[in-house]
Amino acid sequence: MLELDPPAAYRFLQAHPAAVLVDCRTEIEHFYVGHPAGAEHVAWQEGPDWEVDPAFADKVKRLVGQDLNRPVVLICRSGNRSYDAGLALEAAGFEQVINVLEGFEGPLDDDYHRGTQGGWRWHGLPWYQS
């Protein structure tokens, strides 16, 4: 799995229009915290049980029209869930999986806050909030 920081992932998406950006956070995170412009939402896991969705790879397959060679760029809050989701996609036969390091909100700082040292928003990349 290729891993790119947010600016490099954005440049990749601009250079590869067939690529699909998948936000694999929860529905609440996607809509209320915000999401990258153009991101499709397919949750890796949802509350209240936080179990991994066993149909995740199948949902992404439908999203890419069953083309397992189509690049899939995954983003979550910090890059951890999207990494695990990427491993699942690779196991399901996807050939071009990219994880966005730092995720949408970035790592925790010394005060346990996100968004102060990295992430899609911190880098000033296009995003929306509902």
pLDDT in tens, 63-118: 999 999 999 999 999 999 999 999 999 999 999 999 999 999 999 999 999 999 99
Reference 29, options 19, 15, 39, 14; nearest CA is 39
Q: Is the previous residue joined to 17 through a cis bond, with omega within 30 degrees of 0?
A: no
Q: Read off the pLDDT of residues 24-45 as tens digits, 9 standing for 90 and up.
A: 999 999 999 999 999 999 999 9
What is the average pLDDT across 39-56?
95
Cα torsion at 56, 58, 61, 62 (round to 10°)? Answer: -110
- 122 vs 34: CA distance, rounded Å: 12
Q: What pLDDT does 50 receive? A: 92
At 47 the pLDDT is 86
Mean pLDDT of 58-65: 98
Show the domain range for 83.
Answer: 2-128
Is 99 within 8 Å of 83 (Cβ atoms)?
yes
Nearest-angstrom CA–CA distance, 30 and 45? 12
Count of beta carbons in the 10 Å neighbourhood of residue 67: 14
CATH at residue 12: 3.40.250.10
The answer, yes or no, to whether residue 130 has pLDDT greater than 90, is no
- Domain count of the fold of the chain: 1
In Å, how far are 44, 53, 54 from 50, measured between CA atoms?
9, 9, 12
Q: Is the pLDDT of residue 55 over 90?
A: yes
